[in-house]
Structure formats: structure tokens, C-alpha cells
Amino acid sequence: MPELPEVETTARLLEPDLVGRRIRGVDVRWPRTLGGQSEHALREGLVGARITTAGRRAKYLVFDLERGRRPAGYLVVHLRMSGRLFVAPARAAESSHLRVRLSLDRGVLDFDDVRKFGRFFFAADRDAVFASLGPEPLGDELDAASFGRALRSRKRMLKPLLLDQTFLAGLGNIYVDESLFRSGLHPLRRSDRVPQAAAGRLFEEIRATLNEAIAREGSSFDSFYRTPTGQPGSYQHQFLVYGRDGRPCLRCGRTLVKIVVGQRGTHFCTRCQPAPRQRG
């Protein structure tokens, strides 16, 4: 599933082609992509609106809309497992996986989705859609100190806590594993037992990992994730632990291992990320 860096890359690459474009029509090929919203509601919200920004909240793409220079809601897209959003010429050939096409005043915006898990809908109220999400790891809501306090206020294992979108928005399996390795913390360590210095290091490594992945346009370790220009990301070539189980650690040489934590494959080094001590 695309995580924060892949979604941020998509928003940045779409922005030059979308901002200022007016939506002329809506063609829904797979109604379930709307997540329960009616096609009529989607058309009512989108047709005639102009796109003013292309951005991101957590793992969602968010496009601000206006009518008559007044805010007019939002187009919200979640790529899920295999979604791809891109701008094409008006007469571009249609993919067999096309789920929604928006006709613009110049070109079309296509949403392809092989596995059909993605979501594409109109929202009148942005806050209502994202009310349950936690703070952004790259935003200004958190610093190292407040992140440490948030960790210690929970009594959960680090890996599932960092995947919890109500705690921190946008992280997924790849970047949690990479960040925990870079900070030397075991994925099963209890969050309330992480000292402030280690919490601060984890916070900085999360931000550094995400920024480096964005600079490389995300990670493409399968055929599904491609940028709006059709190119793969390249951060997968920088992975330190994710998907490298059975291979030597690039820091210490010990064989990396994979365990399952909360039904998620979890990759780490038993030497660089020592297991937490058991307390009686």
C-alpha cells in the first residue's frame, strides 16, 4: 500500500497539471470505488468546480475545490493497494483497470486501480473526513519532546503503535521498520518504556526516513506503485531491513529476521535492535 512518501510524491507531481483546471465531467466505471457515495453526489460536488491545490493528509490525496472563487469542498482519493492517479490527454487510451475518469478543461484525470480497493469521493467537510487521524510526522504539530510524551502516554508495542493512524498519520509497514532500525529500537519494545533520548532519536529518524523516501519518489518493490508520470520510485534500493530478512545486516553483519507483529511482517536486526528486557 502506498504510504506517506508515495502519496506525497503523487500530490507534488500532479500539482502542475491539475491546479487551475476545471472539472467538466465525471465517468464512474466501478461504483464501489466511491465508497458508498452515489455517482450523483460525486458529480454534483465536482462538475464545474476548479481545482486550487493538490495536497495530502496522511495516506490520502486531497484536492481543494472552488466555485466563483469560493471554497467548494474537496476531492479525496485513497490509493490503497494498487491505485494510480494521473493526468492524460483528453483522447488517451483507457486502461482496462480504469475506475473513474474526470474530464478537465484540458485533458483527463484517470484513477486506475487493479485490485479495486481504492477510494475516490467528494467531501464537503475536510475535518469530518480526517477527524480520527493523528498528527503528521512531517508537520509542525509534533516535536521530539511532544512525540516522546505521546509514546510514554501509551502502553503499546512500538510497531503497532506507529502503524496506528490515530496516533501518527501516514506511516506504514515499510517506513516503520526502517525508522525503528535506524533508531536502534526493537519493534516489540513497550512505548511507555522508551526514554526521552531514544524517543527523540526515533522521531528524527522517522522524519529523515520519510524525507529521503520523498526525495526518491517513494518505493516500488512490486509492479503496482508508479508515479503519475509512470515511473517507479527508487527508495527500495535504500532499504536497510525491510524485505531483507535472511540477508546480512548492513551495519553489523548479523542475519536479519522477520517476525509477524499484529499480522504485519516485521523486519529487524537482533543485534542492532536488542530485545527489551523482561520485567518481573
pLDDT digits (tens, 9 = 90+) for 31-61: 999 999 999 999 999 999 999 999 999 999 9
Domain final residue pick, 130, 155, 184:
130
Which amino acid is present at 18?
A: L
The more confident residue out of 232 and 279 is 232
Instruction: Identify the CATH number of the domain in which residue 243 sits.
Output: 1.10.8.50
**Same-domain status, 192 and 229:** yes
State the pLDDT confidence band at 224, using cuts at 50, 70 and 90: confident
Domain that holds residue 232: 144-268
> Which residues carry out catalysis?
2-3, 59, 264
Apex CA 270: angle with CA 267 and CA 275, to 5°? 105
Maximum alpha-carbon separation in the chain? 68
Residue 262 lies in a domain: yes
Number of structural domains in the chain: 2
Which one of 80, 97, 130 terminates a domain?
130
Q: Which of 77, 106, 130 delimits the end of a domain?
A: 130
The angle subtended at Cα 241 by Cα 239 and Cα 243, nearest 5°, is 80
CATH at residue 111: 3.20.190.10
- Are residues 121 and 224 both part of a single domain? no
pTM given for the model: 0.95
- Taking alpha carbons only, the member of 155, 165, 125, 170 closest to residue 3 is 170
- Is 118 found in the same domain as 154? no
Same-domain status, 90 and 202? no
Same domain, 111 and 217: no
Are residues 168 and 251 both part of a single domain? yes
pLDDT band at residue 277 using 50, 70 and 90 as cut-offs: confident
**Spatial separation of the C-alpha atoms in residues 164 and 159, rounded to whole Å:** 9
Pick the closest to residue 241 from 192, 157, 185 (CA basis).
185
Q: Residue 178 pLDDT more than 90?
A: yes
Q: Are residues 262 and 148 in the same domain?
A: yes
The residue with cell 510514554 is 152
